[in-house]
Amino acid sequence: MNPTVLTILISSLGLGTTLTFIGSHWLLVWMGLEINTLAIIPLMIRQHHPRAVEATTKYFITQATASALLLFASITNAWTSGEWSLTEMINPTSATLALTALALKIGLAPLHFWLPEVLQGLDLTTGLILSTWQKLAPFAILLQLYPLLNPNLLLSLGILSTIIGGWGGLNQTQLRKILAYSSIANLGWMITILHYAPNLTLLNLILYIIMTLTTFLLFKIFNSTKINSIASSSTKSPLLSIITLLTLLSLGGLPPLSGFMPKWLILQELTKQSLFTPATIMALMALLSLFF
């Protein structure tokens, strides 16, 4: 890709996320999300491969649907309350619609169907941007909206995501699909605790981005997209193989690695809130994530 075009696209990605971060008006926030989506699409399709074209088309349709739903939610809220401010979403229907749109944008279950397929069709670099940078803007909105969102709906989405993220990755041999299901499970943990302790959601998001960045870069060094190619690459670089192993275990949440810390704190917070059943289900699903 032409370096000038690439620079413009990367700058647009940064601009879109920054707009969403600083915006307090719904239209500005929506515009930031749109710029983000439109900037990543040429990066996704640059391989000129049928799989990449299919993945880009799926991504575009999903994101366009989510954006339209988010705009509809903000217009409905403005219509009932006369306010365009992000934190003035007093209409519960609008808040639920906005949550649904953002869940579709980041790939929370049961709206996760596009994420494994899209990630599988991309190269590792674009997959890395999709798994890390593209999560920042929707989470910036969620962290501002959390007092207005329905805690039961957040809990349901979170538990369903950890279950699907745990079960979905079990029968996969493709590394990108495994990382997609791992992403769904991790997002489930973040959403579950969002209403009760948003600072834990932020901590989990930061750690998840660091671990996913490390994992994708290691796979890029090994040039591996399947499980058996990791096994064969261990002879070439034993040290990097050990780092890969530790990173993957940390992503799964094995104590005493850093990936365990947010899970432990979240389980602790859930038990403080007397949510014993969700905490138990999530802890068991974390075992499945660790297994694969």
Structure tokens, 211: 């671990």
Rounded to an integer, what distance in angstroms lies between the CA atom of residue 277 and that of residue 292?
24
pLDDT mean across residues, the chain: 92
Write down the pLDDT at residue 154: 95
Whole-angstrom distance, CA of residue 233 vs CA of residue 102: 38
Cα distances from 273 to residues 5, 20, 266, in angstroms, run 50, 31, 11
Q: Which amino acid is at 142?
A: L
Q: What is the pTM of this model?
A: 0.93
Q: Is the pLDDT reported for residue 50 higher than 80?
A: yes
Task: Of 41-55, 150-164, 220-234, give the lowest mean pLDDT range.
Answer: 220-234
- Give residue 95's pLDDT: 93
Does pLDDT of 187 surpass 90?
yes
What is the mean pLDDT of the segment spanning 154-163? Answer: 95
Tokens, residue 86:
């992000």
- The CB density around residue 170, as the number of other CB atoms within 10 Å, is 12
Directed axis angle between helix 151-168 and helix 92-106, to 10°?
20
Task: Tell me what the mean pLDDT of segment 263-286 comes to.
Answer: 92
Q: Whose structure tokens read 């969002």?
A: 194
- pLDDT reported for residue 101: 96
d(CA 7, CA 48): 20
Encoded tokens for 124: 């590792």
Q: Which residues pair with residue 202 across a beta bridge?
A: none
Of the chain, the percentage scoring pLDDT greater than 90 comes to 75
Confidence at residue 78, expressed as pLDDT on a 0 to 100 scale: 94
Which two tokens mark 110? 């049961």
* Cα–Cα distance for residue pair 182/200, rounded to 1 Å: 18
d(CA 134, CA 140): 11
Instruction: Report which of 47, 49, 51, 44 is spatially closest to residue 13, judged by C-alpha positions.
Output: 44
List pLDDT tens digits, range 65-110.
Answer: 999 999 999 999 999 988 899 888 888 999 999 999 999 999 998 9
